Amino acid sequence: MAQVDLLIRGGHVWTPGGFVDLDLAVHQGRIVGLHEPGQVRDASEILNADGQHVLPGLMDTHTHQREPGFTHKEDFITATRAAAAGGVTLSVGMPNVNPPTNTAERLQELIAVAKKKVLVDFNHNPAGTIPSEIPKLAKLGCLAYKVFMVRDTGRDYPHMPGIGIDHHGQLLDIFEAVGETGLPLMVHPHDQQLMDTIEQRYWKRGEYDPRAYARAYRDYEGIIWDTAIGLLLRLQKATGTRLHILHMSTPGGLEMVRRAKDAGQQVTCEVNPWAVFLGNSWERVEKMGPYILGFWVPDGHAEELWKGILDGTIDLVGTDHAPHTREEKEVGWENMWKSPGGEPQIQDYLSLFLTEVNAGRIPLDTLVRLTSYNPARIFGVYPRKGTIQVGSDADLVLVDLKQEKVISNQETYTKCGWTPYDGRRVKGVPTCTLVRGKIVMKEGKVVGEPGYGQFIPPVAFSSESSARSATRNAP
Ligand SMILES: [Zn+2]
């Protein structure tokens, strides 16, 4: 065979059928051959993967990249540097930026800027809050829409006007408009009316600290989540629109999704790393307060999430990477309602999950499906992304399951300069990330260049639009 650009030799390679010892031939950014070890010798470059597992690069469908508007926390370059360091080869942004991406014009602008900056491939989930914009956004090649059912009280960030809808009738209009596009609708479930009542009770008692905040979001076993999930599932049933539920963390919500799936409803959902590695400890709520909130996931609830991961109720991991500065977090010790929720995740989550693989809690194959294969399929970029097979993009992450390290603020690439996992020991480390055959991270050092990343529309979208341009170009 003719000489290929790159041969990845000696690895234990994930394929949809299981792990196999294979040499991977890569040419012009794509996988062109899966070979018996030692068969191919002729390559311009050889990457030695002895003792390593070779996985499809991770696809994060939920990255708060913060640009435009909040670039003091993070920007396209720093977010995708952290992504590359963490084994993520496709990062999909979220619309709570300024101005929020709820129109086609804004999305187009954002894509143009991001293209010049990102180190890994990208897309962006616009806010599907203006029904008339929804079809126009699809024409630009977005993979999904995002709606927050949250109206922030006490702060106007991170859930600013323009991205939040808590009116049921407006949600119905949005479900129908998104249904027309065939794309999934991602929703942050939240019952704003119940929350208004619940948080007033805490405030009347003068309770504003992280403990009060943590409890308010969990009162009655997380009622504000469950009533919202019940509503969303009913709207899904009414409209047939593909629904993707974000931030799964309550046993009640899981049970409803499980039943909806059994009944054949078109629903998928995500789990966030913070739910199983961070918010799942009252001790951490007390000790780290604003730096781990988000949300508290009480004893037993995280166990239910692991069950949901293993039985397929949970489809994928979305990082909810949400960097904020220390100054913004410090305010939360006094009043957590004035401090933005969320924290950096994208660089560390693969290592945290690999640690659980080593501990025997989750098979590596399941992890690959959660972080790569399933998101690629649900969001329409499979088989270009999310798998290792001939013809797919050579988006890969090499991991050393035996390597141990301690996560530290010093090594974090996120602009805010801290990680909630600082000091955490992990076993299982990404050692090399490749995007379309190009190494963007090696041994923890990011070597990718800003502007290398490409905008990745749905696979069906690219073939449609290339067919259109082929017709246009025909003589
Ligand atoms: Zn989020």
pLDDT at 413 over 80: yes
Q: How sure is the predictor about 467, in pLDDT bands with cuts at 50, 70 and 90?
A: very low
Lowest-confidence range among 38-47, 86-95, 220-229, 263-272?
38-47
Strands 438-442 and 425-435: antiparallel
Lowest-confidence range among 230-244, 425-439, 451-465?
451-465
How many Cβ atoms are within 10 Å of 343's Cβ, its own excluded? 27
Distance 473 CA to ligand 1 centre (A): 42
Q: 438: which strand partners?
A: 435
Q: Across residues 221-235, what is the average pLDDT?
A: 98
pLDDT of residue 318: 98
- What amino acid occupies position 281? S
Q: Across residues 301-310, what is the average pLDDT?
A: 98
Distance 64 CA to ligand 1 centre (A): 6
Lowest-confidence range among 259-268, 269-278, 348-357, 465-474?
465-474
How far is 267 from 222, CA to CA, in rounded Å? 20
Q: Is 357 within 8 Å of 365 (Cβ atoms)?
A: no
Which of 150 and 103 is assigned the larger pLDDT?
103
Q: How sure is the predictor about 468, in pLDDT bands with cuts at 50, 70 and 90?
A: very low
pLDDT-above-90 percentage for the chain: 92
Which of 469 and 60 is assigned the larger pLDDT?
60
pLDDT at 158 over 80: no
188 Rama class: left (phi>0) / alpha (psi -120 to 50) / beta? beta
Distance 17 CA to ligand 1 centre (A): 32
Distance 246 CA to ligand 1 centre (A): 8
Q: Across residues 460-468, what is the average pLDDT?
A: 58
Q: How sure is the predictor about 156, in pLDDT bands with cuts at 50, 70 and 90?
A: low
pLDDT of residue 356: 98
What are the pLDDT digits (tens) for 309-343? 999 999 999 999 999 999 999 999 999 999 999 99
pLDDT of residue 1: 55
Distance 10 CA to ligand 1 centre (A): 38
Q: Across residues 404-418, what is the average pLDDT?
A: 98
Candidate CATH numbers 3.30.565.10, 3.30.530.20, 3.20.20.480, 3.20.20.140; the one for domain 126-378: 3.20.20.140
Distance 92 CA to ligand 1 centre (A): 11
Q: How sure is the predictor about 155, in pLDDT bands with cuts at 50, 70 and 90?
A: low
Mean pLDDT taken over the chain: 95
Which of 41 and 305 is assigned the larger pLDDT?
305
Q: Is 150 within 8 Å of 159 (Cβ atoms)?
A: yes
pLDDT at 301 over 60: yes
Q: How sure is the predictor about 345, in pLDDT bands with cuts at 50, 70 and 90?
A: very high
Distance 303 CA to ligand 1 centre (A): 22
pLDDT at 187 over 50: yes
pLDDT at 108 over 80: yes
207: which 2 tokens? Answer: 């309770």
Distance 144 CA to ligand 1 centre (A): 14
Distance 118 CA to ligand 1 centre (A): 19
Nearby residues of 227 by Cβ (< 8 Å), 6 or more positions away: 191, 194
Distance 208 CA to ligand 1 centre (A): 22
Nearby residues of 20 by Cβ (< 8 Å), 6 or more positions away: 12, 13, 34
| CA separation, residue 246 to residues 55, 288, 314 (Å) | 25, 24, 10
Distance 258 CA to ligand 1 centre (A): 22
Distance 425 CA to ligand 1 centre (A): 25
Give domain limits for the chain.
126-378
Distance 322 CA to ligand 1 centre (A): 7
How far is 379 from 389, CA to CA, in rounded Å? 18
How far is 167 from 392, CA to CA, in rounded Å? 42
Q: Is 318 within 8 Å of 349 (Cβ atoms)?
A: no
pLDDT-above-70 percentage for the chain: 95
- What amino acid occupies position 238? A
What single string gives the DSSP state of each residue in 284-339?
Answer: HHHHHGGGT-S----TTHHHHHHHHHHTTSS-EE---B----HHHHHGGGT-GGGS
Distance 373 CA to ligand 1 centre (A): 21
How many Cβ atoms are within 10 Å of 282's Cβ, its own excluded? 15
pLDDT of residue 446: 98
Distance 170 CA to ligand 1 centre (A): 21
Q: How sure is the predictor about 360, in pLDDT bands with cuts at 50, 70 and 90?
A: very high
pLDDT of residue 462: 59
What is the gyration radius of the CA atoms in the chain, in angstroms?
22
Distance 472 CA to ligand 1 centre (A): 40
77: which 2 tokens? Answer: 């370059």
Q: Across residues 368-382, what is the average pLDDT?
A: 98
pLDDT at 41 over 90: no
Half-sphere exposure of 431 (CA within 13 A, CB side): 19
3-state helix, strand, coil in the chain (%, to 5): 35, 20, 40
Distance 214 CA to ligand 1 centre (A): 17
